Amino acid sequence: MVSKLKVGSLVLVAAAIAAVVAAPSAKSALMCQGTGQPFAQFGDTNDYFGFANNGFENGSTGWRLFGASIGSGNEPWGVNGGGSSSLSIGPGGTVSSPLVCAALNAPDWRMFAHANGANGSLRAQVVFYGLLGNVTGILNLTNFDPSGYASWAPSQDVPAALALPVLTAYAQLRLTSTATSGTWQVDDVFVDPCGMRG
C-alpha cells in the first residue's frame, strides 16, 4: 500500500511540473524573436526587439531609477520612431530596465548613449531571472568610456555570452554611472535575442 506521504509528494511534483509547462513565461522564453534592425545603418544587421518604454517617451514607466531622471533630448536618428525624451543618469546613479524575454541563446543589448559632461564610464550589467523571479545570474560587465560618446552614438554591444541557467526566463539591463560629475544620457534600448549566434 502506497503511503499518504508518497502520494502527497507525487502530487506536489506533478503540480510543479504542470505549473512550469503552463506558464506563459516559459513558452515565451523559448520564442523571443527580433522584429527589426534598428542599427543597420551602423553596420549591425542583427535582428533586435524593443520593449515597452524602451525610448522613455512614457517617462520612467517600467524602469527603476536611483539618482536618475527622464530628461529632454532624443537620439538624432529616430530609430524608434522619433521622440523628445531620454534617460539622464547622474553621478553614481543606477537604473534597471523592465524584465524582458530571455531566449535559449543569451541576449545582447544595445542602445544609444551620450556622455553629457560625464567624467566617468557608464557600467552595464545583465541580470537573469528564473520563472519565480529568482536571480539566476549577474554577469558580463561592459563599460562605456565617455571619450567615445561626446555626442550621441550607438553603444557597443552589452553581451551576455554564456549558456543560460536552466529555467531562466527573463533578462534585465542594469546601468550605473561611475562619474562624479556630468550625466549620461541613454535612449532607445534594444535587445538582440540571439546574442550567442556565433
Q: Is 2 contained in some domain? A: no
Q: What is the pLDDT of residue 198?
A: 46
153 inside domain: yes
CA 170, 49, 122, 57 torsion-angle sign? negative
Domain count, the chain: 1
Q: Report which of 27, 93, 19 is spatially closest to residue 60, judged by C-alpha positions.
A: 93
Q: Which residues contact 15 (CB under 8 A, 6 or more apart)?
A: none
10 Å Cβ neighbour count for 113? Answer: 28
**Residue 1: inside a domain:** no
- What is the residue-level pLDDT of the chain in tens, covering all 198 positions? 545 444 444 433 333 333 333 333 443 444 578 889 999 999 999 999 999 999 999 999 999 999 999 999 999 999 998 899 999 999 999 999 999 988 666 688 999 999 999 999 999 998 889 888 888 888 767 999 999 999 999 999 988 766 666 778 888 999 999 999 999 999 999 999 876 554
Residue 179 lies in a domain: yes
What is the pTM (predicted TM-score) of this model? Answer: 0.81
pLDDT of residue 10: 41
| 162 inside domain | yes
**What's the pLDDT score for residue 3?**
52
Spatial CB neighbours of 194, under 8 Å, sequence gap ≥ 6: 34, 46, 47, 103, 105, 107
Residue 176: its pLDDT value, please? Answer: 97
Domain containing residue 111: CATH number: 2.60.120.260
Residue 5 is predicted with a pLDDT of 46
Number of residues in the chain: 198
- pLDDT at position 17 is 37
Q: Is residue 75 part of a domain?
A: yes
In a domain, 79, yes or no: yes
pLDDT score at 141:
78
Q: Which of 154, 155, 152, 145 is nearest to 178 (CA)?
A: 145
13: in domain: no
pLDDT (0 to 100) of residue 162: 60
What is the span of the domain harbouring residue 128?
A: 32-192
